[in-house]
């Protein structure tokens, strides 16, 4: 009579039960979803803080509104942290699921689509230009288009992730080194970083608040176009993806966390602006280094 492996190990007293192993495996799949849920919670809190600040602004409490808008901006930043962690944990533990991908996209629509769009409207041009004719309708339209472009960007990302584009060699492969179009978390974080840098509503700016409001509208329109563009932005997914982190990388992370803690307004805004500018510069520099023969081959394919 053959004795199974499990029975032999159980007889020796060293084998864990299969039920415990399955429970541990299921727990690993739950961890990324918990961070996704925290992402949604942060986005929901940002929306509630923005509405509270908008109400206080209507009552004339500028100081209270400024505090609420700052809290809303910081909540978007925490949502970005949760969004980064859930993806990395899923890849490290190989617990990526189709439901997790779709849930992550829905969370991004809330935290980096709706929350920044409503925040920039209440803090910025929606209240600063309320005395202009038809300005509020245009402001409402721009915030709406930002959400639509962000949703399209997420839908395109999901399609590209599930249906890899065949390369010239004919083998399907997902380009993990870059994103096509500005990621919606970066666009939302830029709006949040600007509000965190100057949380006082634009209407109460000391100089020419109308000009600042118009510039903010142009910025939101520009971010919307970047999200649906074909400009490639580095994904940085390979950074720290190995099993062992180098000491140099750990020191860099600790230094960056310390700088953010001490100078969050300047550092966060500088990081987001540098990432976007780096993508735009690569867009202009990359064609200069393309080989003519290789480019003609790609066109023929």
pLDDT at 180: 87
Of 182, 14, 50, residue with least CA distance to 124:
50
pLDDT at 249: 76
Q: What is the pLDDT of residues 231-271, one digit of tens each?
A: 989 887 666 555 556 778 788 888 988 998 899 999 999 99
Q: Please give the mean pLDDT across all residues of the chain.
A: 80
Residues above pLDDT 70, as percent of the chain: 73
Q: How many CB atoms lie within 10 A of CB 246?
A: 10
Span 284-288, average pLDDT: 55
Most confident of 8-17, 25-34, 288-297: 25-34
Q: Which of residues 221 and 97 earns the better pLDDT score?
A: 221
Mean pLDDT check: name the lowest of 12-16, 199-203, 265-269. 12-16
Q: Quick one: pLDDT band at residue 283, thresholds 50, 70, 90? A: confident
Q: Is the pLDDT of residue 20 over 50?
A: no
Dist CA 237 CA 87 (whole Å): 9
Please give the residue that has the higher pLDDT: either 249 or 203. Answer: 203
User: pLDDT (tens digit, 9 = 90+) per residue, 58-82?
Assistant: 898 999 999 999 999 999 999 999 9
Amino acid 239: pLDDT: 62
- What confidence score (pLDDT) does residue 26 get? 55
- Record the pTM: 0.80
Residue 170 has pLDDT above 70, yes or no: no
Give dist(CA 274, CA 271) in Å, integer. Answer: 5
Q: What is the predicted pLDDT for the residue at 286?
A: 54
The secondary structure of the chain, three-state, reads: CCCCHHHHHHHHCCCCCHHHHHHHHHHHHHHHHHHHHHHHHHHHHHHHHHHHHHHHHHCCCHHHHHHHHHHHHHHHHHHHHHHHHHHHHHHHCCCCCHHHHHHHHHHHHHHHHHHHHHHHHHHHHHHHCCCCCCHHHHHHHHHHHHHHHHHHHHHHHHHHHHCCCECCCCCECCCCCEEECCCHHHHHHHHHHHHHHCCCCHHHCCCCHHHHHHHHHHHHHHHHHHHCCCCEEECCCCCCCCCCCCHHHHHHHHHHHHHHHHCHHHHHHHHHHHHHHHHHHHHHHHHHHCCHHHHHHHHHC
Q: Model confidence over 116-164: pLDDT tens digits?
A: 999 999 999 988 887 777 787 888 999 999 999 999 999 888 887 666 5
Contact between 233 and 183 under an 8 Å Cβ cutoff? The reply is yes
Pair 217, 139: CB distance under 8 Å: yes
pLDDT band at 293 (very low <50, low <70, confident <90, very high): very low
Count of CA atoms in the C-beta half-sphere (13 A) of 27:
6
């Amino acid at each position: 009579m053959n004795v199974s492996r499990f029975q032999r190990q159980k007889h020796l007293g060293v084998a864990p039960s299969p039920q415990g192993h399955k429970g541990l495996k299921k727990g690993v799949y739950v961890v990324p979803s918990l961070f996704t849920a925290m992402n949604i919670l942060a986005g929901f809190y940002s929306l509630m803080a923005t509405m509270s600040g908008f109400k206080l602004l209507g009552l004339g409490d500028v100081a209270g509104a400024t505090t609420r808008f700052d809290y809303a901006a910081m909540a978007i930043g925490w949502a970005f942290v949760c969004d980064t962690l859930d993806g990395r944990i899923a890849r490290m533990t190989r617990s990526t699921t189709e439901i997790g991908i779709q849930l992550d996209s829905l969370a991004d629509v809330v935290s980096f689509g709706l929350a920044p769009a409503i925040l920039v409207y209440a803090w910025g041009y929606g209240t600063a230009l309320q005395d202009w004719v038809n300005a509020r309708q245009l402001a409402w339209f721009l915030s709406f288009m930002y959400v639509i472009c962000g949703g399209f960007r997420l839908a395109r990302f999901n399609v590209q992730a599930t249906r890899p584009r065949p390369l010239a060699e004919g083998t399907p492969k997902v380009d993990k080194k870059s994103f096509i179009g500005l990621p919606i978390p970066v666009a939302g974080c830029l709006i949040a970083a600007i509000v965190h840098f100057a949380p006082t509503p634009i209407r109460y700016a000391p100089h020419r608040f109308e000009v600042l409001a118009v510039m903010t509208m142009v910025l939101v329109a520009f971010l919307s176009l970047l999200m649906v563009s074909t400009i490639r932005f580095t994904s940085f997914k390979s950074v720290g993806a190995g099993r062992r982190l180098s000491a140099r990388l750990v020191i860099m992370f600790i230094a960056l966390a310390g700088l953010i803690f001490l100078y969050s307004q300047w550092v966060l805004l500088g990081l987001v602006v540098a990432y976007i500018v780096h993508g735009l510069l690569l867009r202009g520099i990359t064609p200069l280094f393309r080989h003519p023969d290789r480019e003609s081959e790609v066109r023929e394919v």
